Amino acid sequence: MPMNRETHVFHTNREDLERAAQLLREGQTVAFPTETVYGLGANALNPEAVKKIYEAKGRPSDNPLIVHIARLEDISQLVTHIPEKAKLCMERFWPGPLTLILPCTDRVPSAVTAGLDTVGIRMPDHETALQLIALAGIPLAAPSANSSGRPSPTTAAHVLEDLSGRIAGVVDGGAAGVGVESTVLDVTGDKPMILRPGGITREMLQELLGPVGIDPALSDAGIAPKSPGVKYTHYAPKGTMFLIEGEHDVDKIVELARAARHDGKKVGILAAAEDADAFRSVFSEEEGAVILEAGSRHDLSTVASRLYDAIRTFDHHGVELIYAQTYSEEGVGLAVMNRLRKAAGHRVIFS
């Protein structure tokens, strides 16, 4: 794929979406908004088109992709059969931020599945995404539209920051909503297994399905994960991030940040909304500490929606060390902490 090409910016009107859909039919890559993050789409049934996703992102080719559809009937060409628990999930959570791992047909290229006999499929809950997929008339393989390893994009500006000149186009649909990627649920075994936590929580799934497991790789960095999009380092800022856990986390972060400032480092603090003023009372911009609010402990969906933008903001400020508070793993907090651990490279300091 030629690089340093023009990346067209499309809007959400019908004419622009038809132009973007035409590029997709021609085997090009186009980024588009979903309710989670922006995805980088290509024809999921065209191996050469799919390869352009890997090339643009610098993504390892053994990392499988998620396929996005606009209608339930589109799934028939992609999977051999649909387990009953998958049908329940589709009825309850589609369209929505839930990817289901299903046994795939031979129509799905190995470039999508990374050689596995399963494929991740979801139907996004975003009008623009659904319109684009329907206009293209093809299922779209679409990982997050960022350079591999970088924070996922929640705006078109984030996409262009990473991929301008490397993709054919981006549809600017404003800011994404959920802010973290879809939940990935493997329904091919006897017990459903969460391979990646996201906007559809374990609690929501268990209410519908009964017991739902969690992939041990989510809490043990030494175990190879099985989910699309989580095999390699993700969400990382350019600076080094540490998670600070414990009831004295505010005092510990202040101590660490002061020491780093004394050593001449530019410091970032990713704070819960409830503690941000405590940090601001200690540090000022002149002292070189960039303090960003991640969201409220009482509404972890706000943390999820702001997390990636905050990480990119630290990069824009040239922050070298980031100290981040941690959160409960109930509900969407499981997804928040999964992304924070990945962003920090599993570096944790206990207070």
Q: Is 114 annotated as a binding residue?
A: no
- Mind listing the domains of the chain with CATH numbers? 8-218 (3.90.870.10), 240-350 (3.40.50.11030)
- The secondary structure of residue 299, as a DSSP letter, is B
Q: Is 68 annotated as a binding residue?
A: yes
Contacts (Cβ under 8 Å, ≥6 apart) of 272:
293, 294, 295, 296, 297, 303, 325, 327
Two tokens, residue 241: 């991030």
Q: Is 144 annotated as a binding residue?
A: yes
Q: Is 235 annotated as a binding residue?
A: yes
Contact present, 124 and 98 (Cβ < 8 Å): no
Residue 62 C-alpha from the chain's centroid: 18
Q: Are strands 98-103 and 118-122 parallel, antiparallel or unpaired?
A: antiparallel
Q: Is 182 annotated as a binding residue?
A: yes
The answer to whether the bond into 153 is cis (omega within 30° of 0) is: no
- pLDDT of the chain, 351 residues: tens digit per residue: 445 579 999 999 999 999 999 999 999 999 999 999 999 999 999 999 999 999 999 987 778 999 999 999 999 999 999 999 999 999 999 999 999 999 999 999 999 999 999 999 999 999 999 999 999 999 999 999 999 888 999 999 999 999 999 999 999 999 988 888 999 999 999 999 999 999 999 999 999 999 999 998 776 555 545 555 555 556 788 999 999 999 999 999 999 999 999 999 999 999 999 999 999 999 876 666 899 999 999 999 999 999 999 999 999 999 999 999 999 999 999 999 999 999 999 999 999
C-alpha dist (Å) from residue 125 to 32, 34, 43, 113, 134 = 13, 7, 19, 23, 13
Q: Is 25 annotated as a binding residue?
A: no
Q: Is 118 annotated as a binding residue?
A: yes
Q: What is this structure's pTM?
A: 0.91
What is the per-residue pLDDT for 61? 74
